[in-house]
Structure 1
Amino acid sequence: MHEMSIAAAVVDQVERAAREQGFTAVATVRLDVGELAGVVPRALDFCFSLVCEGTALEGATLTTRSVRARARCAGCAVEWYAGMPPDLGCPGCGGGTRVELLTGRELRIRGVEWAEGPLPAQG
């Protein structure tokens, strides 16, 4: 389950930022997750709660926002919802050889809500 490694990476990044900025606890982490990223949000939420134990994120809430897959044809510049699985055939000109996927693969931290509280003991 790659959601565990994703959750661990998110917790590491947020905890590092909290320490660098002088925050002692985290209330909420908001993520953008592209529908083509291959992430199961419920599994990620479960893994996140496990990885947070004993960190500045213990008790934090993970909020995910799904990002729909959008594509653009380089030939005619038409943009469309590519769907899942992605349909990369241009609905404008029928082409599909020069299609750019604009969104849908995201996996990024969109925001963090800091909270006050003691840092967990480091062990």
Structure 2
Amino acid sequence: MHEVGMMQNILDAAVKRAKDEGAQHIRLVQMRVGEASDVMPDSLEVAFDVAKKGTIAEDAKLQLENVPVVCYCSNCSIEFHPTSKLNECPECHQAYCEVRQGNEFELAFLEVS
């Protein structure tokens, strides 16, 4: 479960940022997680519960924002939501179009006190 290591890194950064701002508690951690990021939301929540123990985020809630995949076809100059892992354009059927959104795995927001 690589989510534990990933979440530990995110939480370490969140705790550092919160402490740098003078906060004593983290109440909410909001993350943006792309559909193509290969991160399992359920595993991420379990990893968060493990990683927050003994930190200023111990009582924090995790909120995940799902980011859908959006691709761009340079032949047709259109953005689209792919229907397969080939990211095939629905107009010209070019495969492996550019992924413009959906790979995110990032800390978006902290609520602190």
TM-score scaled by length of structure 2: 0.93
1:91 aligns with 90
Matched pairs, number: 113
**Unpaired segments ≥5 residues, structure 2:** none
1:110 Cα deviation after fit: 1.1
Q: Identity over the aligned pairs, expressed in percent?
A: 27
* Matches of 1:14 and 1:93, distance apart in 2: 44
2:109 counterpart letter in structure 1: G
Give me the CA root mean square deviation: 1.3
1:119 aligns with none
1:112 Cα deviation after fit: 0.6
TM-score scaled by length of structure 1: 0.86
Q: What are the Cα deviations for residues 95-115 of structure 1, in whole angstroms up to 9, with x where unaligned?
A: 236x21011110011111112
SS of alignment partner, residue 112 of structure 2: strand
* Matches of 2:55 and 2:16, distance apart in 1: 10
Q: Does 1:108 align with 2:106?
A: yes
Give 1 or 2 for the bigger CA radius of gyration: 1
Assess if the C-alpha contact under 8 Å between 2:86 and 2:95 holds in 1: no
1:9 Cα deviation after fit: 0.7
SS of alignment partner, residue 13 of structure 1: helix
SS of alignment partner, residue 29 of structure 2: strand
Q: What are the Cα deviations for residues 14-69 of structure 1, in whole angstroms up to 9, with x where unaligned?
A: 00001111111100000010011111111111111111111111110011011111
* Matches of 1:87 and 1:67, distance apart in 2: 18
2:81 counterpart letter in structure 1: Y
